[in-house]
Structure 1
Amino acid sequence: MKYLDLKMDFMFKQLFGHPSRKSIMIAFLNALLHRTGDDRIVESMSNSKTLS
């Protein structure tokens, strides 16, 4: 089986850039940056109407 080269911009975007794969990207960044516990990257949503 041949592996995809993630150094290619197109393949990286296909794997990590799609909104349905957001959890994969967050896990990848946390592993790459050695983030754990309260220091880890998490998804956060805010309502822009309440910010103004």
Structure 2
Amino acid sequence: MFGKARCKICGDTVRLVLKHLNDKHPEVMAGSGSKSRESMDKLVKKYFEEDE
């Protein structure tokens, strides 16, 4: 989705946002329920902000 994004939870700058959530914040992925593209987009917008 973004070139680089900053995690709102830990402040890390990452390129692969879903991999970062799986690796560093598995509780977020466990609570997400559905794995549809729409729900993944919502997770990215909720937990990451675009980094300039």
Q: Per residue, is there more helix in 1 or in 2? A: 1
TM-score by length of 1: 0.27
Structure with greater contact order relative to length (CA < 8 Å, sep ≥ 6): 2
TM-score by length of 2: 0.27
Q: Per residue, is there more strand in 1 or in 2? A: 2
Which of the two has higher C-alpha Rg?
1
